[in-house]
Homo-oligomer: A and B are copies of this chain.
């Protein structure tokens, strides 16, 4: 059964709106997913929103009807409201006609199984949520075991990261850890830590990659701390033919990931 909300000052509206802030997401353990396409991606991987918020007065949509039925069957809540209130919740003038509220999941290192995949992505202090989502999307494409976020990264559950991931946030396992948790965890088992570097490095093309290979990408403006680079098992350089000495972080991670994929399967 649908619950109808008509008032802008309704506490549920206020709560949903608060989920745009990282602070409130952390407190509540929930996040917003905007749009039927992303919600369908989630559904197809077995994840359903705890709450579905739909705009009233839109034409009926078969996929949306199925999603609503699934949410109800799973004991979730369905809220119908006006397009204006939906816009207020998402903060966008042209809001999607549906928003889902998901429970965040466990992002501890302990949940990862390093034998599950030959490639892993690791990002350090990645600040741009678009880059973070793009890395998730790349992780999906190369069959990565997961994306491990080190130190103070953008929130993978922000609307921008979820959108840039094109649904990969639901398929690529995520972990969040400090460097001094990650490194001991890595060294407990097998795993090659790899980074692009200008120091003491070999050409990235055809380097001696070993599975499971953990591809470490540094912060957008600072790159990796020297100490982190030094802890790597393999440092590689990529051709830089122009004036700049670095690539966009998500691009660098992807070029490396595709090279590692080719190397491990070669």
Contact = CB atoms under 8 A, between A and B. Distances in A.
Nearest to A44: B243
A166 interface: yes
A12 B255 CA distance: 44
A172 B137 CA distance: 27
Contacts of A16: none
A170 to B, nearest CB: 9
Contacts of A164: 248
Interface in A155-170: 164, 166-168
Contacts of A248: 134, 137-138, 164, 250, 254
- Count of this chain's copies in the oligomeric assembly: 2
The A interface is mostly helix, strand or loop, or mixed, namely helix
B205 A262 contact: yes
Interface string A236-254: 0011111110011011001
Contacts of A231: none
Contacts of A142: 239, 241-242
Bin chain A's interface residue count: 35 or more
Contacts of A241: 140-143, 261
A141 B259 CA distance: 17
A171 B242 contact: yes
A49 interface: no
A258 interface: yes
A145 to B, nearest CB: 11
Interface in A10-60: 41, 44-45
A258 B255 contact: yes
Contact of A242 (B141, B238, B250, B254): B141
Contacts of A134: 248, 251
Given A130-B130, A254-B251, A254-B255, A243 B167 contact: yes
A255 to B, nearest CB: 5
Closest 8 CB pairs of A and B: A143-B241, A140-B242, A251-B254, A134-B248, A255-B258, A141-B240, A140-B244, A205-B262
